[in-house]
Amino acid sequence: MTDDTAHERRALAGRLADAGVLTTPTLRGAVESVPRELFLKPGVFLPADGGWQPVPWATADEATRTQIAYREESLTTQLDGHLTADKVDGLVKGSPTSSSTTPVTVVSMIEELGLEDGHAVLEIGTGTGYSAALMCHRLGEDNVTTIEVDPCVAARADAALETAGFSTWTVTGDGLLGNPRRAPYDRVIATCAVRRIPYAWVRQTKPGGIILTTVGGTWNYGTGLAKVTVNEDGTAEGRIIGRSSFMQARSQAPELVSGDLSARVAYADSERATKVAPSLLTEWMPAFVAQLAAPRAQFTRARDTDGTALMYVFDPERESFAHFIAQGDVWKSVRQGGPVPLWDNIEQALMAWQEAGSPDISAVQLRVTDNSHTYWIEGHPALRWQHDLA
């Protein structure tokens, strides 16, 4: 199966260049050369009716394959850690566990790396291999190492990379450990989200080298793209350069609270009016701030059998919760239970953030050491969070 998609690749590169995302001529050459459709075998799942419609690549016609591959969308290629589009007949339910990230995100992240000839890159989250292929085209196959935790996904990506002409270093394993065998790297890029930047990545990056990854809590939003530079002293420093959302690195993904929540919130230690609207937690930057203030917390929304909206923050490891009570459409009060006063901590941070003029996520700076992550917003001592490992 060789689709002739040269025209679509050039058009994609043109759109990305017009949008100001693709600026480096050598990377433009990569976008124009690497056929994304090669990396979508054995097929994709398209969202449909609250589930997923499989489109197996072997039976889809060329026009369909081309039309899907050059959509500027992330394309889900695996559900629930095992299901691929060639294994199911009709609409299925499931959670995406591997995908081809939308080209605009992939390309803007690679541009952000400021690649130079001879740079050695480590990618965490090979997925389909498309982003690795773009970097191979730019740097040469020997300068790219890519790690994928799922052996089947890694094998498919490796095969696709070979077909595209790149015999690169595709490693199967937990990317949170990096890949010491080929270290040190000039650039480390993760296309999965992490709750904290593993110190192994800092260790494996040359001084002056860059680590680019999505960081944040366990929510699927309220996460940011961290860009840090490694210092001679083994620390790394930088900032959050914008919003970013990726699937969580598997080994860091927590078991999410679900099911009947009533038992979890049965015993409250306090109840009071809220000073800040808890509905703020549905917005991106407040959600980011909340997760800095309560790094292990999960945010859950549900509906009661009578349709009443329910909203909670849980820290299951610390047996702590905040349960918000609505009057009509307005969230009025909060019941809190357990040793960690989750909403007190989050509310205090949100109030300080509002008093600071509600700065954007790009105001957040970050320093990583071997035992801590410190996030802060300059000039606002109340907006500083240190997360210690020990």
Instruction: Name which position in 110, 122, 135, 247 contacts ligand SAM (CB under 6 A).
Output: 247
Looking at the Cβ atoms of 45 and 343, the one nearer to ligand SAM is 45
Instruction: Name which position in 66, 84, 99, 300 contacts ligand SAM (CB under 6 A).
Output: 99
Looking at the Cβ atoms of 65 and 264, the one nearer to ligand SAM is 65
DSSP 168-183: -EEEES-GGG--GGG-
Please tell me whether residue 128 binds ligand SAM under the rule CB under 6 A. yes
Looking at the Cβ atoms of 67 and 95, the one nearer to ligand SAM is 95
Stretch that binds ligand SAM, among 24-32, 86-94, 219-227, 244-252 (CB under 6 A): 244-252
Please tell me whether residue 147 binds ligand SAM under the rule CB under 6 A. yes
Angle between helices 103-112 and 25-33 (to 10 degrees): 150
In this structure, are strands 144-148 and 121-124 parallel, antiparallel, or unpaired? Answer: parallel
Stretch that binds ligand SAM, among 9-17, 126-134, 234-242, 314-322 (CB under 6 A): 126-134
Judged by CB under 6 A, the number of residues near ligand SAM is: 27
Residue 228 tokens read as: 């840090």
Query: Which uninterrupted H or E stretch holds 351?
Result: helix 342-355
The edge-to-edge listing of strands for the beta sheet with 320-327 is 270-273, 330-337, 320-327, 309-315, 298-303
* DSSP structural state of residue 249: P
Stretch that binds ligand SAM, among 142-150, 217-225, 303-311, 348-356 (CB under 6 A): 142-150
Stretch that binds ligand SAM, among 27-35, 231-239, 245-253, 263-271 (CB under 6 A): 245-253
The answer to whether 366 and 239 are in contact (CB under 8 A) is yes
Q: What three-state secondary structure class fits 151?
A: helix
Give me the 162-201 binding string for ligand SAM, x by CB under 6 A, dash otherwise.
------------xxx--------------xx---------
Spell out the residues 6+ positions from residue 328 whose beta carbon is closer than 8 angstroms to its own: none
The answer to whether 148 and 172 are in contact (CB under 8 A) is yes
**CA distance linking residue 241 with residue 364, whole number of Å:** 8
Please tell me whether residue 149 binds ligand SAM under the rule CB under 6 A. yes
**CA distance linking residue 102 with residue 124, whole number of Å:** 16
Stretch that binds ligand SAM, among 86-94, 128-136, 234-242, 270-278 (CB under 6 A): 128-136
Instruction: Name which position in 5, 66, 98, 204 contacts ligand SAM (CB under 6 A).
Output: 98
Angle between helices 130-139 and 103-112 (to 10 degrees): 40
Residue 320 tokens read as: 């702590």
CB of 338 to ligand SAM, least distance (A): 29
CA 387 centroid distance within chain: 20
CB of 78 to ligand SAM, least distance (A): 7
In this structure, are strands 224-230 and 205-215 parallel, antiparallel, or unpaired? Answer: antiparallel
Spell out the residues 6+ positions from residue 365 whose beta carbon is closer than 8 angstroms to its own: 237, 238, 239, 240, 375, 376, 377, 378
CB of 241 to ligand SAM, least distance (A): 18
Please tell me whether residue 251 binds ligand SAM under the rule CB under 6 A. yes
Cα 197 to Cα 57, 114, 236, 290, 317: the distances in Å are 36, 20, 10, 18, 21
Stretch that binds ligand SAM, among 7-15, 91-99, 113-121, 237-245 (CB under 6 A): 91-99
Instruction: Name which position in 30, 40, 153, 164 contacts ligand SAM (CB under 6 A).
Output: 153
Question: Which residue's CB comes closest to ligand SAM?
Answer: 127
Give me the 203-242 binding string for ligand SAM, x by CB under 6 A, dash otherwise.
----------------------------------------
CB of 128 to ligand SAM, least distance (A): 4
Residues 17-46 contacting ligand SAM, CB under 6 A: none
- State the residues that interact with ligand SAM by CB under 6 A: 97-101, 106, 124-125, 127-128, 130-131, 147-150, 153, 174-176, 191-192, 246-247, 249-251
